[in-house]
Structure 1
Amino acid sequence: MCTCPLTRRGLLAGTTGVVTTAAVARFEPAAAGQSRTETFTGTFTGVATPDWHYLPVEVPRGVREIEVSYTYEKTDTGLGFSANVIDIGIFDPSGHDLGDANGFRGWSGGARDRFRISRRRATPGYLPGPITPGTWHVALGPFAVVPPGVDYEVSVTLHFGRERGRFVPKPAPRRVRGTGPGWYRGDCHLHTVHSDGRHTQRSLLALAREAGLDFLGSTEHNTSSAQLTWGRHVPDDFLVIPGEEVTTRAGHWLALGLPAGTWIDWRYRPEDDALTTFTERVRGVGGMAVTAHPFAPGPGSTWGFDPTYAAMDAVEIWNGPWTLEDQVAVAAWHSLLVTGGYVPVMGNSDSHHEGQAVGLPQTVVRASSLSTPAVLRGLRGGHSWIAESSAVDLTLEASLGDRT
Structure 2
Amino acid sequence: MCEDERHIGRRTLVVTGAAAALTLGSVTFASAADGETETRTIRGTLPTGSPDFVYVPVEVPSGVREIKVAYSYDRPAVPAGTAGNALDIGIFDERGTELGGEGFRGWSGGARTEFFIRADDATPGYVPGPVREGTWSIALGPYTVAPQGLSYEITIALTYGEPGEVVEPVYPPGRAKGRGRAWYRGDCHLHSWYSDGRRTPAEIGALARAAGLDFINTSEHNTHAAHAHWADVAGDDLLVMLGEEITTRNGHVVALGTDPGTFVDWRYRARDNRFGRFARRIRRAGGLVVPAHPHATCVGCGWRFGFGEADAVEVWNGPYTPDDEVALADWDSMLVASAREGRGWIPAMGNSDAHRDPDVVGSPQTVVLADDLTREAIQEGIRAGRSYIAESSRISLDFSVVGGKGEHAEIGGRLKAAADTPVTVRLEVTGAPRCTVRFVTDQGVLFTSAALPVSGSGVVEWRTTPAYAAYVRAELRHEAAAGPLPGALAALTNPIFLGR
Q: Same fold (TM over 0.5)?
A: yes
CA distance in 2, matches of 1:182, 1:78: 54
Partner of residue 358 from structure 1, selected from 358, 361, 368: 361
The aligned runs of 1:123-272 (5 Å cut-off) are: 123-177=123-177, 179-272=179-272
Question: Which residue pairs with 1:69 in the alignment?
Answer: 70
Alpha-carbon shift at residue 162 of structure 1 (Å): 1.1
Say which one has the larger Rg.
Answer: 2
Aligned: 1:340 with 2:342: no
Could you give the per-residue CA deviations for residues 256-293 of structure 1, whole angstroms, max 9, x where no partner exists?
A: 11111110000000110011110011111211110100
Question: Which residue pairs with 1:349 in the alignment?
Answer: 352
SS in 2 for 1:295: coil
CA pair 45-7 structure 1, distance change in 2 beyond 3 A:
closer
CA pair 78-184 structure 1, distance change in 2 beyond 3 A:
farther
Alpha-carbon shift at residue 372 of structure 1 (Å): 0.8
CA distance in 2, matches of 1:249, 1:188: 21
CA pair 397-334 structure 1, distance change in 2 beyond 3 A:
closer
Aligned: 1:109 with 2:112: no
Question: Which residue pairs with 1:85 in the alignment?
Answer: 86
Which stretch shows the higher mean deviation, 51-60 or 70-79? 70-79
Alpha-carbon shift at residue 73 of structure 1 (Å): 2.4
SS in 1 for 2:398: coil
CA distance in 1, matches of 2:391, 2:338: 28
Partner of residue 386 from structure 1, selected from 372, 381, 389: 389
- 8 A Cα contact 2:40 2:157, kept in partner: yes
- 8 A Cα contact 2:178 2:236, kept in partner: no
CA distance in 2, matches of 1:289, 1:319: 16
CA pair 83-319 structure 1, distance change in 2 beyond 3 A:
same
- 8 A Cα contact 2:78 2:147, kept in partner: no
Alpha-carbon shift at residue 179 of structure 1 (Å): 4.3
Aligned: 1:27 with 2:29: yes
Could you give the per-residue CA deviations for residues 332-369 of structure 1, whole angstroms, max 9, x where no partner exists?
A: 11111222262111000000012011111000011111
Alpha-carbon shift at residue 176 of structure 1 (Å): 1.1
Which stretch shows the higher mean deviation, 74-83 or 382-391? 74-83
CA distance in 2, matches of 1:81, 1:159: 41
Alpha-carbon shift at residue 221 of structure 1 (Å): 0.3
Alpha-carbon shift at residue 142 of structure 1 (Å): 0.3
Question: Which residue pairs with 2:97 in the alignment?
Answer: 96
CA distance in 2, matches of 1:369, 1:77: 54
Alpha-carbon shift at residue 168 of structure 1 (Å): 2.3
Question: Which residue pairs with 1:50 in the alignment?
Answer: 51
CA distance in 2, matches of 1:79, 1:316: 31
Could you give the per-residue CA deviations for residues 172-193 of structure 1, whole angstroms, max 9, x where no partner exists?
A: 1111146421110000000000
CA distance in 1, matches of 2:310, 2:81: 28
CA distance in 2, matches of 1:82, 1:195: 23
The alignment-based identity, stated in percent, is: 47
Normalising by structure 2, we get a TM-score of 0.76
Could you give the per-residue CA deviations for residues 145-197 of structure 1, whole angstroms, max 9, x where no partner exists?
A: 13111100011100111133222211111111464211100000000000000
- 8 A Cα contact 2:189 2:353, kept in partner: yes
- Specify the code of the residue in structure 1 equivalent to 2:37: S
SS in 2 for 1:354: coil
Alpha-carbon shift at residue 80 of structure 1 (Å): 11
Q: Tell me how many residue pairs correspond in the alignment.
A: 397
Alpha-carbon shift at residue 79 of structure 1 (Å): 8.5
**Structure possessing the higher relative contact order (Cα contacts under 8 Å, 6 or more residues apart):** 1
CA pair 80-121 structure 1, distance change in 2 beyond 3 A:
farther
CA distance in 2, matches of 1:78, 1:387: 41
Alpha-carbon shift at residue 399 of structure 1 (Å): 5.2
Question: Which residue pairs with 2:318 in the alignment?
Answer: 320
Which ranges in structure 2 are unaligned for 5 or more consecutive residues?
A: 340-344, 409-500
